[in-house]
């Protein structure tokens, strides 16, 4: 028998269901099955042309070498300017910004350098699975904060307060929210900020979807008084500028926190690619019409998928305020979320994610990404309707 040489800590690290479902869907497609993809949170738009041209130009000009580990100063300055202008806080590009190859390394390093074994971290549930995974990996204790549909999937300050103990170190926020599409209003944020200050806590604020909002402006907890140095902002270029494969993200925090994150980042990946950072500068400082155009398309897609899902008996769906996900309630269908997601994939040709991929309080829900064309959305809705009708017929026959 071969010896397992892997470290025990690897058992604490999870995976991401979206990529697993993509792989299964691709295998089905190889057999000739047509699959409509709602599982992956990736914009189907191409990266805007002026951003690609900036990368090509940078390559030709020799931006193919190492950069300072925290990121090129020109990019950090552009990031600091964006955050300062939008959130109304002063950000020092030299010491309060770190650039990494994607938002995930920012999440990982932020949690890993701040959470000690035994520290409790309050995490919305359901939520992006990396938060809980990394807390476990660091030896921390993830404490779920249930997100309820009747509260529009928002954190209620009173619920948060009840979960704080002497061991609590950090609260994770994500607005606009994956998978629910919910957003915080200033009132909710102010309430959570008071809890953070009262108990001397840190906040990890994942704001990767800050530009994908529908009629409600994104509001960061870092904008609240005395919250800047208590907050680690995570953001990046993948969602706003359709740059998922470019791998470019950043974090904003106090000098003390950023220095620790940068140290770990240096030991893991040295730096983000130089030509990609040059493209990032163009993305931030260049024309933003491309972002507005993508948002307009997302709005149409949102209307189409919400209306379509609500027309299917047994499914109800709230309209999201941000991001590009819907989180429909499927409890009336009388089947578990995981089982329904598997059924829709294998019998209906529709790839989606079960709600429990985002935590135990996601049971009774599915997550659909509408970062795909309206044509695909309509085709997928028809497939779902047909599959659900067959499911109900089978239930009647077996009942």
For 176-212, b/e burial (b = at least 16 CB within 10 A) is bbbbbbbbbeeebbbbbbebbeeeebbbbbbbbbbbb
pLDDT at 396 over 60: no
Average pLDDT of the segment spanning 248-266: 97
pLDDT at 24 over 90: no
pLDDT at 8 over 60: yes
The angle formed by the CA atoms of residues 190, 192 and 198, to the nearest 5 degrees, is 100
pTM (whole model) above 0.85 = yes
pLDDT for 1 equals 59
**Radius of gyration for the chain, computed over Cα atoms and rounded to the nearest angstrom:** 21
Question: Collapsing DSSP states into helix, strand and coil, what is residue 233?
Answer: strand
pLDDT for 354 equals 95
Question: Collapsing DSSP states into helix, strand and coil, what is residue 164?
Answer: coil
pLDDT for 397 equals 41
Q: Per-residue confidence at 147, pLDDT binned at 50, 70, 90?
A: very high
Share of the chain above pLDDT 70, in %: 98
Q: Is the dihedral of CA 268, 271, 275, 279 positive or negative?
A: positive
Average pLDDT of the segment spanning 275-293: 97
- What class does CATH assign to 50-285? alpha beta
Region of 124 please: left (phi>0), alpha (psi -120 to 50) or beta.
beta
Closest CA to 138 of 185, 170, 184: 170
Share of the chain above pLDDT 90, in %: 87
Q: Per-residue confidence at 398, pLDDT binned at 50, 70, 90?
A: very low
CATH architecture assigned to 10-40+289-393 = Alpha-Beta Complex (3.90)
pLDDT at 211 over 90: yes
| Bigger pLDDT: 142 vs 17 | 142
pLDDT for 204 equals 98
pLDDT at 352 over 50: yes
Q: Give 95-142 pLDDT, tens digit per residue.
A: 999 999 999 999 999 999 999 999 999 999 999 999 999 999 999 999
Q: Within a 10 A sphere around the Cβ of 399, how many other Cβ atoms?
A: 6
Closest CA to 313 of 248, 235, 392, 249: 392
Side by side, the strands of the sheet bearing 168-174 are 97-100, 249-252, 231-236, 202-206, 168-174, 120-125, 141-146
- Segments of the chain assigned E as strands: 36-37, 97-100, 120-125, 141-146, 168-174, 202-206, 231-236, 249-252, 325-326, 350-351, 353-354, 366-369
| Bigger pLDDT: 386 vs 30 | 386
Instruction: Please say whether the beta carbons of 155 and 161 come within 8 A.
Output: no
Q: Is the dihedral of CA 47, 51, 57, 58 positive or negative?
A: negative
Instruction: Please say whether the beta carbons of 328 and 317 come within 8 A.
Output: yes
pLDDT at 343 over 70: yes
Instruction: Please say whether the beta carbons of 132 and 123 come within 8 A.
Output: yes
pLDDT for 30 equals 85
pLDDT for 65 equals 97
pLDDT for 395 equals 55
Q: Per-residue confidence at 18, pLDDT binned at 50, 70, 90?
A: low
Domains in the chain: boundaries? 10-40+289-393, 50-285
Q: Give 163-181 pLDDT, tens digit per residue.
A: 999 999 999 999 999 999 9
Q: Which of 3-17, 34-48, 60-74, 79-93 has the lowest mean pLDDT?
A: 3-17
């Amino acid at each position: 028998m071969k010896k397992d040489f892997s470290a025990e800590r690897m058992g604490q690290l999870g995976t991401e269901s979206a990529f697993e479902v993509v792989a299964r869907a691709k295998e089905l497609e190889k057999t000739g099955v047509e699959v409509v993809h709602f599982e992956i949170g990736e914009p189907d738009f191409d990266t805007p042309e002026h951003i690609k041209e900036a990368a090509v130009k940078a390559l030709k000009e020799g931006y193919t070498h190492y950069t300072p580990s925290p990121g090129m100063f020109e990019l950090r300055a552009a990031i600091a300017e964006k955050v300062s202008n939008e959130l109304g806080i002063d950000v020092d590009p030299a010491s309060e910004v770190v650039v990494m190859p994607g938002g995930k390394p920012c999440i990982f390093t932020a949690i890993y350098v701040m959470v000690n074994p035994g520290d409790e971290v309050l995490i919305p549930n359901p939520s992006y699975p990396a938060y809980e995974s990394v807390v476990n990996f660091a030896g921390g204790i993830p404490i779920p904060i249930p997100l309820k549909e009747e509260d529009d999937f928002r954190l209620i300050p009173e619920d948060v307060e009840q979960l704080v103990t002497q061991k609590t170190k950090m609260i994770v926020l994500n607005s606009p929210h994956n998978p629910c599409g919910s957003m915080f209003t200033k009132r909710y944020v102010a309430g959570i900020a008071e809890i953070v200050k009262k108990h001397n806590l840190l906040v990890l604020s994942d704001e990767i979807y800050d530009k994908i909002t529908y009629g409600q402006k994104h509001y960061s907890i870092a904008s609240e008084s005395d919250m800047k140095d208590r907050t680690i902002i995570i953001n990046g270029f993948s969602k706003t500028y359709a740059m998922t494969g470019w791998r470019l993200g950043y974090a904003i925090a106090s000098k003390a926190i950023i220095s620790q994150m940068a140290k770990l980042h240096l030991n893991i990946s040295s730096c983000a690619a130089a030509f990609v950072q040059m493209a990032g500068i163009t993305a931030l400082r260049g024309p933003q019409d491309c972002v507005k155009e993508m948002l307009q398309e997302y709005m149409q897609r949102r209307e189409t998928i919400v209306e379509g899902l609500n027309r299917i008996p047994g499914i109800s769906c709230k309209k999201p305020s941000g991001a590009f996900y819907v989180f429909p309630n499927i409890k009336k269908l009388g089947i578990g979320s995981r089982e329904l997601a598997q059924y829709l994939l294998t019998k209906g040709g529709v790839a989606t994610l079960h709600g429990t991929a985002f935590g135990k309080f996601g049971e009774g829900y599915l997550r659909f990404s509408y970062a795909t064309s309206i044509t695909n959305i309509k085709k997928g809705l028809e497939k779902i309707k047909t599959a659900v009708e067959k499911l109900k017929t089978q239930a009647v026959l077996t009942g």
